[in-house]
Homo-oligomer: A and B are copies of this chain.
Amino acid sequence: MTDSLRELSEQLEHFARERDWQQFHSPKNLASALIVEAGELLEHFQWLTEAESHDLPPQKLAEVREEVADVLLYLVQFASATGIDPVEAARDKLVANARRYPVEKARGNSSKHDQL
């Protein structure tokens, strides 16, 4: 794992070890915690229009920022529990996506690659 995420990962491991929380942190449970936080993030947007979602009032933005933090913290812990480097995985996926979504076919089109 690279740089700032590795640092987060080490701090999280220390945090969990100090509290004897590793027993709860199976990949299965961390994947659950991740989606629970993603739900708390989405909750802020469920009744907003897309336009409103571009322009959050400061208090709501601060709450959204905390949910982004939670999602990242569980993603980093999940990655570390499964030995996955998330940034490297993301780079590989970007390369694959460039192949699956050629510019000329995907332009202005939100369809999935198998329906382009």
Contacts and interface: CB of A to CB of B under 8 A. Distances in A.
A52 B8 CA distance: 26
Contacts of A90: 8, 68-69, 72-73, 76
B107 A20 contact: yes
Contact of A36 (B4, B43, B87): B43
B45 A103 contact: no
Interface of A: 2-5, 8, 11-12, 15, 18-21, 23-24, 26-29, 31-36, 38-54, 56, 61, 64-66, 68-73, 75-76, 78-79, 81-82, 84, 86-87, 89-94, 97-98, 101, 103, 106-110
A87 to B, nearest CB: 5
A40 B3 CA distance: 27
A11 B94 contact: yes
Nearest to A61: B82
Nearest to A26: B50
B66 A93 contact: yes
Contacts of A35: 35, 38-39, 41-42
Most interface-central of A4, A84, A92 (chain B CB within 10 A)? A4
